[in-house]
Amino acid sequence: MNARPDHSVLADQEGSARDDLLMDVRNVSLSFGGVKAITDISFDVRQGEIRAIIGPNGAGKTSMLNVINGFYTPQVGTITFRGVERRSMKPHDAVRQGIARTFQNVALFKGMSTLDNIMAGRSVLMKRNIVWQMLWRGPALREEIEHREKVEEIIDFLEIEHIRRTPVGKLPYGLQKRVELGRALAMEPSLLLLDEPMAGMNLEEKEDMSRFILDVNQQRGTTIALIEHDMGVVMDLSDRVVVLDYGKKIADGPPDEVKNSQAVIDAYLGVPH
């Protein structure tokens, strides 16, 4: 990989030695039949940081998130999350281990209310069996109320009290994205994956969303990996950026360094390889 700037190599070596490492992606390759979506990508995510993943359309960003949360199994490579190495896992196990995500195309439960959508995010944290549920007494009711309180905190935080009971299918797109963030937060993740959280939003909505993302990171201490096309947002929010192009990593480092890297400029301007 001759296109890779020097500092990214340094960052990698430095990264694997650090003890605040949350996740380490090693030599991951993923292809669909003949299509190579990801080719030999390695990068890490540190505890407490906001890590941006950027790149032109079709670069393999969403595929990368899908590998991380177990939706796709890469042909080659490993993912070490909180010290546990694996290649494949079931998505619901990823949630149990603390990886939550939102989707590029909103994937909410359209017929359910905002409240129910976010409560559904807590399904894995709830334990009471069907017999208690049936009776709606004692432990089942206590559990429900306990989780409801947590969910109401999220609803307050995201300022969506007014749409608590509205079926999400009826909400405008910007609010749907916010509810989806709420659902992911409800899982109390240690790593939050956001796939283009601001796509299709106007400036004001983008500012709100940026504020929420920063607050989540700072107040809750949640580590975030975020895909975003808006360069301004990426530069403002992220601590470090990894750049993909045609499934390959072409840069990795702090935002201002990455921005000035020749490989990145070429990729975004569409210079042929």
Q: Which of 63, 217, 222, 238 binds ligand ATP (CB under 6 A)?
A: 63
The residue type at 145: I
CB of 148 to Mg ion, least distance (A): 33
- Based on its alpha-carbon atoms, the radius of gyration of the chain, rounded to whole angstroms, reads 19
CB of 90 to Mg ion, least distance (A): 22
CB of 132 to other proteins, least distance (A): 9
Total residues contacting ligand ATP by CB under 6 A comes to 12
Token pair for 191: 């790593």
Nearer to ligand ATP, 60 or 121 (CB): 60
Q: What angle do CA 261, 49, 117 make, to 5 degrees?
A: 115
Residue pair 79/44 in contact by the 8 Å Cβ criterion: no
> Which residue from 66, 41, 51 is spatially nearest to 21, judged by alpha carbons?
51
φ and ψ of 122, to 5 deg: -95, 5
| Chain residues in the site for Mg ion (CB under 5 A) | 62, 104
Q: Which of 5, 15, 55, 197 binds ligand ATP (CB under 6 A)?
A: 55
CB of 247 to other proteins, least distance (A): 22
For ligand ATP, what does the binding mask look like between residues 84 and 113, x meaning CB under 6 A? Answer: --------------------x---------
The residue type at 56: P
Q: Which one of Mg ion, other proteins, ligand ATP, none interacts with residue 55, CB within 5 to 8 A by kind?
A: ligand ATP
Q: How many Å apart are CA 157 and CA 216, to the nearest integer?
A: 9
Nearer to ligand ATP, 63 or 117 (CB): 63
CB of 121 to other proteins, least distance (A): 5
Q: Does the protein bind ligand ATP through residue 39 (CB under 6 A)?
A: no
Nearer to Mg ion, 62 or 223 (CB): 62
φ and ψ of 254, to 5 deg: -60, 150
Site for ligand ATP in 191-230 (CB under 6 A): none
Q: How many Å apart are CA 183 and CA 122, to the nearest integer?
A: 8
Q: How many Å apart are CA 90 and CA 56, to the nearest integer?
A: 28
Q: How many Å apart are CA 91 and CA 97, to the nearest integer?
A: 10
Return the range that interacts with ligand ATP (CB under 6 A); candidates 18-26, 59-67, 121-129, 231-239. 59-67
